[in-house]
Amino acid sequence: MVQDRTQPEHAAQTYPRGDRRRSRLGLFLPYILLTLVVVAWSIGWFWIRGRAVGEIDGWMAREAAAGRNWGCADRTVTGYPFRIELRCSAVTLDRSDGRFRLGPTTAVAQVYQPRLVVFESAGPFHVEQGGLTGDASWRALQGSFHGASDGFTRASVVMDDPKVAVTGVPTGPIDVSGQHLELHARPDPGRYTSEGAVDLSLRLTRAEVPQFDVLTGTQDPADLVLDAALSQATILRTGPVPRELERWRQAGGTLDITGLSLAKGQQRIQAKGSLALDAAHRPAGQLNLRAAGIDTLVGSIVGQRFGSERGALVSQLVGGLLGLSRRPQPDAPADAAPLKDLPPIRLVDGKVVFSGFPIPNVYLPALY
């Protein structure tokens, strides 16, 4: 049989031209899809960025209309492709009752979780309000805010080596420094809807306050822990402090202290109670106390009115009666002295009443 040589030897292995095109399209299809995804993501990111800028500008315009002029110097909005990052070389606020300024600050939100904002600031912070001037600085400050449709779910600020100085106070300048500060807030699960209550948690370690050292008679650093609920917190805004405090007072706002602990050397105080503002804008309420080793503090307060010798005598008598002067051995831990229940402290008509008697030379001024 004669072989037909008119067809190529490997004709059975050739492909139609249409199949060849489909084969090449399959090779490039993943890259084409990836390009489309990148383009779509880029368009989406710039849309989200534009919306974020619009929200910021709109909020600042509404604040300005209310007399509060916010500023973000050298503002930039970056973070492509996964974040929205807002940077300001300085954040300022000017309003009728004062001026505020915060140093370089950055706020970041992920595009897939826009309600969680993480921020940090290099500081410092400066405020001028009325006759008061305050300055604060720190080694590191970070915080977060987790928003929700009806408010927020959590807010936190963490600070290392905080330092605060306030001048213009009638009693003299105030200086406070510490090793570590934490402040956390969240809606109170049982009272947020009905009372606008927010739970607060404050931690300050190794705080140093020279004015407090004079009163307590020791230079040991102090550790402060505060757990409280602030009712009617949701009505507070960024307006002038006197106006906001008055709105809070008229709404029946209270600071319900579930746990306050202050330890300074061998001196320790724990307190629970509730505070508010009276009609004269002074703190009012009652605190239930437990304490140990505070006879020096009692003597200092009494000595301001009756002299140091009588103050020392009264402090020994009071400390002995209340069991506050019992001190642990030198090698015992700081919390070895047991806490004793004290008569409650009541804040009434600008006076601090302890065991039914006003503490001499201690008066509560109006806050605004």
Output the pLDDT for position 63.
Answer: 92
Paired residues of 198 in beta bridges? 187, 230
Each residue's pLDDT tens digit in the chain (368 positions)? 445 555 555 544 555 555 655 566 667 788 888 899 999 999 999 999 999 999 999 999 999 998 899 999 999 999 999 999 999 999 999 998 899 999 999 999 999 899 999 999 999 999 998 889 999 999 999 999 999 887 899 999 999 999 999 999 887 899 999 999 999 999 999 999 999 999 999 999 999 999 888 777 789 999 999 999 999 999 998 888 899 999 999 999 999 999 999 999 888 999 999 999 999 999 999 999 998 877 666 655 555 555 455 555 555 555 554 555 545 445 555 455 688 888 899 999 999 998 788 877 778 989 88
Q: Is residue 56 part of a domain?
A: yes
8 Å CB contact between 106 and 85: yes
In a domain, 131, yes or no: yes
Q: What is the DSSP letter of 173?
A: -
Give, as one character, the DSSP assignment of residue 322: H
**316 domain residue, yes or no:** no
Residue ranges making up the domain that contains 114: 24-136+165-173
113 assigned to some structural domain: yes
Tell me if 34 is assigned to some domain: yes
CA distance 158 to 177: 14
- DSSP conformation class of 259: E
Residue 211: inside a domain, yes or no?
Answer: no
What angle (nearest 5°) sits at the alpha carbon of residue 66, between those of residues 62 and 67? 120
DSSP 251: T
Residue 2 counted as domain residue: no
Helix (H) or strand (E) segment spanning residue 211: helix 210-216
- The count of domains in the chain is 1
Asked if residue 90 is part of any domain, the answer here is yes
Please give the pLDDT value at position 321: 47
